[in-house]
Amino acid sequence: MIISPEIIDDIKFKNPIEDVISSYVNLKRAGSNYNGLCPFHSEKTPSFTVFPSTQSFYCFGCGAGGDAITFVMRTENLDYLSALRVLASRCGVTLPEETERVPGKKEVGRQRVLEMNKEAAKFFHNCLLDEKLGADGRKYLMEERKLSMAVINHFGLGFAPNHFFMLHDHLKSLGYSDEEMTVGFLCGKNDRGVYDYYRNRVIFPIIDTTGNVVAFGGRVLDDSKPKYLNTSDTPAFKKSKNLFALNFAKNHCENQLILCEGYMDVIALHASGFENAVATLGTAITSEQARIFSRYTKKVVISYDSDEAGQRAADKAFKLLQEVGVDVRILKINNAKDPDEYIKKFGAQSFKSIIDDSKSKFEFECDKIFAKYNILNTDEKIKASHELSLAIASYPSEIEREIYCQKISGILDVPKESIRKDVNAILMRRTRDAKNKEETELFRKSSGIGDRVNPSSAEFLKANKIEEAILGLIQLYPSHLKIVMEKMTVDNFVTLFCKKVFEKIKECYDSVGKFDIAFIQDAFNVDEISRITKMMAERQRLKTNGEDVLNDLISSLSKEKNEAEDSDSFDSILSAINKKKK
């Protein structure tokens, strides 16, 4: 749908970008701009900049950029129109209900999926409560898992009957199309038609922090595979950016959050009074989820299964959570596979005790290594020492490393200096490898290799830099925009991406008389918007951006284009000659 530029202008005017972003990021004044830690990647030194003068943001670390709308799209995992709705609601602007649809473009939007999910959640819950349809589901939840009806209602748990079309027919009767059901991952499609994805499964609704049902998880009641079926990414949901039960836990997480591996662990903990428990959604923790934790709490206790897979997942979780500045502890559960089983065996008070005694990552790693090796044996002591040195080297704090070297020295009866030398050698090797990787990546970027946004930049490297400089300048200054529109056409550009950007800017200029990145966002994805913003951000860092600079760039681009065309002509002639020779 199309929203008029006047309404977009009004929404952005009433939502200053520094106000919008400061509700997510701790910003500090830096001259006329603001700096902060980027919410889109892990960093310790701020590289995220907000430019009030252009109402834009750009991270010079990961390359994320855009305006207030783009920021909300990224942080809330929304499409363009949904992000606009969020900002409109924030400032009291009403978007028109009926708007013109783009011809030939049919999309299932976030809001439609959310409405459909709500109806599906009601359907699953009612099926669970139905005397006949939900008998197997109630038996599993209430008899095997010992959940009360109060807990079942609290989490909105449901049951999908063992029928191929029951949910489909129900949603169809409410006016939802087959396409909407398949896009929302409630139904699948094969040669025989559309069928229900969730069948003979207990259903766990995934609810976001605003109360929307964004997805579902379904567990089988027998030995069928897969054991769990989880919603794939949809217009309303991205599993890497959501946590199960955060909608409840966010009200109980001031001191800490407990990270569990599965839905039932979380539900069992909540039922036992530990309402600060959450879980990832069928995958190992992601960097986006780690940043969600950092927004809500300063401490996380990892409570994963005690098997090998669970411990590998705990290692990854610790690393990602530590990167975003969260204090991490790891729960060691003995005589039980998971928190649910432990509480059933030993009770909630005993579980609270082991939470209070949760270990630091280093203590946890030491336990694993000492369980693996017999340090009374010389060869095994050397192997243990090497693994412990690798573990110590992973800690960024020199003080931490020094304390751990001292501790291991006493346990292994090895001089602390010897352990410190091994640790320093590992650090030097890692620093060298990181530097080589950084140089390689810098070369790739500077040469345009692997540029997914603008693949033709590698072929026309110099022309691309000039094009980006011109596009950056016309975003910065309306007077420059007018000059470029009078002097240039889309044919003056060489690379395909820059051609498209200029074409969209020109369409704005011709129809509205000005340009705002918000006017073209529906034509580009967030990575492309970030690149367009980067063009402007790079120019903002320079002192010379006057009209003479612009004219020089226009002349230089004309020269580069002519040379590129001459090269193409020469290649064509050479190819023709070679064909004749054959």
Q: Are residues 369 and 354 in the same domain?
A: no
- Are 200 and 162 contacting, i.e. CB atoms less than 8 angstroms apart? yes
Say which range, 302-306, 324-328, 374-378, 405-409, has the weakest mean pLDDT: 302-306
In a domain, 102, yes or no: no
Residue 394 lies in a domain: yes
The answer for residues whose C-beta is within 8 angstroms of residue 310's C-beta and 6 or more apart is 261, 304
Looking at the structure, do residues 348 and 330 belong to the same domain, yes or no? yes
The answer to whether residues 438 and 462 belong to one domain is no
Question: Does a structural domain hold residue 97?
Answer: no
**Helix, strand, or coil (residue 466):** helix
Residue type, 79: D
* Mean pLDDT along residues 120-142: 96
- State which of 205, 237, 269 marks the end of a domain: 237
Say whether pLDDT at 403 is over 80.
yes
Task: Mark whether 215 and 158 lie in a shared domain.
Answer: yes
CA dist 368 → 186, 204, 384, 393, 396 (Å): 42, 34, 10, 17, 21
Contact of 532 with 525, CB cutoff 8 Å:
no
Kindly state the average pLDDT of the residues 241-261: 91
Looking up residue 293, the CATH number of its domain turns out to be 3.40.1360.10
Cα angle: 259, vertex 262, 266; to 5 degrees: 60
| Predicted pLDDT of residue 441 | 64
For residues 74 and 123, membership in a common domain is answered with: no
Domain membership flag for residue 22: yes
3-state secondary structure of 209: coil
Structural domain span for residue 349? 246-359
1 or 267, which is more confident: 267
Give the pLDDT confidence score for residue 389 in this predicted structure.
94
Dump pLDDT digits (tens) for 491-521.
999 999 999 999 999 998 998 888 899 988 8
Q: How far apart are CA 275 and CA 271, in angstroms?
A: 8
pLDDT classification of 450: cutoffs 50, 70, 90: low
CB 47 within 8 A of CB 87: no
Bin 290: left if φ > 0, else alpha if -120 < ψ < 50, else beta: alpha
Distance CA 242, CA 231 (A): 12
How does the average pLDDT of the chain come out, rounded?
87
Domains identified in the chain, total number? 5
Give the residue from 417, 444, 471 where a domain finishes: 444
With respect to residue 422, please indicate whether it lies within any of the assigned structural domains. Answer: yes
DSSP string, 361-403: HHHHHHHHHHHH--TTSHHHHHHHHHHHHHHHHT---HHHHHH
Q: Are residues 421 and 440 in the same domain?
A: yes
Contact of 508 with 515, CB cutoff 8 Å: yes
The pLDDT of 442-455, averaged and rounded, is 69
Question: How many other β-carbons are positioned within 10 Å of the β-carbon of residue 239?
Answer: 23
Q: Looking at the domain assignment, is residue 450 inside a domain?
A: no
Q: What is the pLDDT of residue 444?
A: 59
One domain for residues 10 and 66: yes
pLDDT at 193 exceeding the cut of 50: yes
Residues 414 and 498 in one domain: no
Q: How far apart are CA 489 and CA 331, in angstroms?
A: 63
In a domain, 476, yes or no: yes
Verify that 422 and 471 share a domain, yes or no: no
pLDDT over 60 at 100, yes or no: no
- Taking alpha carbons only, the member of 417, 363, 372 closest to residue 391 is 363
203 and 165 within one domain:
yes
Is 263 in contact with 219 (CB distance < 8 Å)?
yes
pLDDT-based confidence at residue 108 (cuts at 50, 70, 90): confident
| Averaged pLDDT for residues 431-435 | 85
Same domain for 474 and 577: yes
Pairing assessment for the beta strands 48-51 and 158-160 based on DSSP bridges: unpaired
Q: What percent of the chain has pLDDT over 70?
A: 92
Note the pLDDT tens digit of each residue in 37-65: 998 887 878 999 999 999 999 999 899 99
Question: Are the C-beta atoms of 307 and 333 separated by less than 8 Å?
Answer: no
| Same-domain status, 440 and 379 | yes
Which letter does DSSP use for residue 55 in this model?
T
| pLDDT tens digits for range 65-96 | 999 999 998 887 777 888 888 899 889 888 87
pLDDT at 15 over 90: yes
Per-residue pLDDT band at 578 (split at 50, 70, 90): low
Q: What is each CA distance from 555 to 374, 470, 548, in whole angstroms?
A: 73, 11, 11
How are beta strands 213-220 and 228-230 bridged, if at all?
A: antiparallel
What CA–CA distance (Å, rounded) separates 104 from 118?
29
Considering 38, 60, 91, which residue would you say is the last residue of a domain?
91
pLDDT tens by residue, 358-399: 888 888 888 889 988 999 999 999 999 999 999 999 887 889
The pLDDT of 131-151, averaged and rounded, is: 95
How far apart (Å, rounded) are the C-alpha atoms in residues 554 and 408?
Answer: 65
SS (H, E, C) 392-448: HHCCCCHHHHHHHHHHHHHHHCCCHHHHHHHHHHHHHHHHHHHHHHHHHHHHHHHCC
Spatial neighbors of 311 by CB under 8 A, at least 6 apart, are 304, 368
Q: Decide: 13 and 113 in contact? Cβ < 8 Å.
A: no
Write the CA distances from 149 to 156, 242, 271, 577, integer angstroms. 10, 26, 11, 83
Does pLDDT of 580 surpass 70?
A: no
Answer whether residue 566 is part of any domain. yes
Question: For residue 507, what is the domain's CATH number?
Answer: 1.10.860.10
When pLDDT is cut at 50, 70 and 90, the band that residue 103 belongs to is very low
